[in-house]
A and B are shown apart, each in its own frame.
Chain A
Amino acid sequence: MGDAMMRHLRTLAAVSLMLVTALIAAADFDYGLSPRQVAEDTWVVVGRNEDFSFENGGNIVNSAFIVTSEGVVVIDSGPSRRFGEQLRAAIARITDQPILRVLNTHHHPDHFLGNQAFPAASLAALAGTIEGIRRDGESFNENMYRLAGDWMLGTEVTVPGQDIEPGPLTVGEHRLELLALDGHTGTDLAVFDRTTGVLFAGDLLFHDRAPTTPHANIPRWLASIAVLEALPVKVLVPGHGAPTTGSEPISQTRNWLEWLQQTIRSGAESGLDLTEMLDRPLPADEARLAVSAAEYRRSLSHLYPAAEQQALEHGAAGHAH
């Protein structure tokens, strides 16, 4: 019996077990959202540092909200209609202020598929994000059904109707700064609250979890991190992973991206095949982050082909005549 067979059996058993667990856990589809206060008026619903699964129903992402005298500003609406509804209920347990604004930081499914649960007029994002949701939203939603199952029931793509301009935005007593950045995707919004010193970084920053790269441009991403690092931040809310008063999300995300970029470049430049790259063990610093092995492999699949192409085009070849 080969190793492959055993691995396959193990995967199969694991998948079956997951399905069974999901059937039991998901009977009431309760995400158990409990907002954590990180500063005055400021709350975060912290997701798990995991991959999407039938078990977690997509609850791997941070949503946040600021309660102001003008109404509530929500940053990212979560992975499903149910999540959006439960987030809205959790907000209502804390304040009776109405929902004023829901901002989607970028077009990844776990950051906007809860939009449906909020008033249509409150939904807003940068123009590039709105375009991304229009373009990829349906296929992301379908894929989320495959990854999270019935937690997704009834979820429909709801495109924000309002495109927001970067710059200062005062809401009640909170002076917010909207920063239009990019690199994790083509358009990434970060929100800095100058009143409390809280930075909502979206997926430009990850904490104790390996960054995801399906639409990444690493040099642009690193430039955006430099912009965030220059802000007078007191509390940092990453897109994934625990909020912190420290700067670990900055160093961790930057180190991972620099290592990934270097690994991919030098692999392609020395002629390694993708199968050989997939096999490599991670250095200890990178291996420590949650989901690191899986994200490394996914990132190779996203980014290695372009690096190979570049290495080959710089090699001398051409048509013979």
Chain B
Amino acid sequence: MKLASLLLAGMLALSPHIHAANDAADPLESARWGDMRKEFFGDQTVVFDTRVEVTAPLTAENPMNVPVAVNAAALPDVREVVVFADFNPIVRILEFTPGAAEASLAFRIKLQQSSPVRAAARTGDGVWHVGGTWVTTTGGGCTVPSTGSASPEWQSRLNEVNGRMWSRQGQGERVRLRIIHPMDTGLAPSVPAFHIESLVLADEKTELMTIRTFEPVSENPLFTIDLAPGTDPARIRVTGRDNNGNRINAWVTR
């Protein structure tokens, strides 16, 4: 048993997630947090804040399609939210700007290896509030070509939008939409990066949400957006484009 406890101690010490006090500020104790902070926030004010909730499975069954929900609606005056994964080869996943929508968004991502998945919400006072969670995975999600890139079928349906709205019983509307797109990362051999870059949701009067997406968002992206109570659009227009200039333009109705 002496050998066993030595081995156990050794494994814990070698783990990248257990660090001495020098990195204690990060609740997820990621060796990459220092780099993340520099890359995303420079010298702006950053606080860890449990009001920014990131929900994802502790263990991801499918590294190509890891469900993630970000909810920063408990914070006042959210201007912008950035989502990233410390250990992904492409760390930046997406950014969104809530207009008349709540500061929450659910989507699916590709993970190359186990990593913290974090969301940072910038409030009106310029402070970034960071929340996150660890997702464990066998990995490989970023270097596999999309199924779309292997079959010609998607080409005729590229940027097609399927969407639907649900009433959340007096709490505003829920919008879910899925867009046909391979979302290739450019990291699979001889498959160039090909991904949606921007999406804008709007009703007849106002902008509801702007989403900027990057390579780690899963193939055929699916988004769940909750509108604030009182916004009650009969239909929502979705516009956007990918990095090759192909346009997205569709209406989502009830």
Binding site for B on A (CB under 8 A): 1-2, 4-5, 7-9, 11-13, 16-17, 19-20, 23-24, 143, 146, 270-271, 273-276, 278-279, 297-298, 301-302, 305, 308-309, 311-320
Q: A2-B50, A273-B67 are in contact. Are A317 and B161 (CB under 8 A)?
A: yes
Contacts of A13 in B (CB 8 A): 12
Q: A17-B8, A146-B138, A317-B161 are in contact. Are A274 and B250 (CB under 8 A)?
A: no
For B218, give the chain A residue with the smallest CB separation.
Answer: A305
Among B77-85, B129-137, B189-197, the stretch that binds chain A is B129-137
In the complex, the answer to whether A1 meets B27 with C-beta atoms within 8 Å is yes
Q: A2-B50, A273-B106, A308-B222 are in contact. Are A315 and B163 (CB under 8 A)?
A: yes
7 contacts between A and B (CB under 8 A): A2-B50, A275-B55, A276-B69, A278-B57, A301-B62, A312-B162, A315-B254
In the complex, the answer to whether B253 meets A317 with C-beta atoms within 8 Å is yes
In the bound complex, what is the Cα–Cα distance between A11 and B132 (angstroms)? 17
For A21, give the chain B residue with the smallest CB separation.
Answer: B4
In the complex, the answer to whether B8 meets A16 with C-beta atoms within 8 Å is yes
B65 interfacial by beta-carbon distance below 8 Å: yes
Contacts of B251 in A (CB 8 A): 317-318, 320
B164 touches which of A275, A311, A319 (Cβ 8 Å) = A311
A8 touches which of B17, B138, B160 (Cβ 8 Å) = B17
Interface string of B133-164 (1 = CB under 8 A from A): 11010100000000000000000000011111
A11 touches which of B27, B58, B69 (Cβ 8 Å) = B58
For B4, give the chain A residue with the smallest CB separation.
Answer: A20
Contacts of A271 in B (CB 8 A): 164, 166, 174, 176, 224
Contacts of A16 in B (CB 8 A): 7-8, 11-12
Q: A4-B134, A20-B4 are in contact. Are A275 and B17 (CB under 8 A)?
A: no
A4 touches which of B15, B28, B166, B252 (Cβ 8 Å) = B28
B162 touches which of A143, A315, A320 (Cβ 8 Å) = A315
In the complex, the answer to whether A12 meets B28 with C-beta atoms within 8 Å is no
Contacts of A279 in B (CB 8 A): 55
B68 interfacial by beta-carbon distance below 8 Å: yes
In the complex, the answer to whether B224 meets A317 with C-beta atoms within 8 Å is no
In the bound complex, what is the Cα–Cα distance between A19 and B134 (angstroms)? 21
In the complex, the answer to whether A275 meets B67 with C-beta atoms within 8 Å is yes
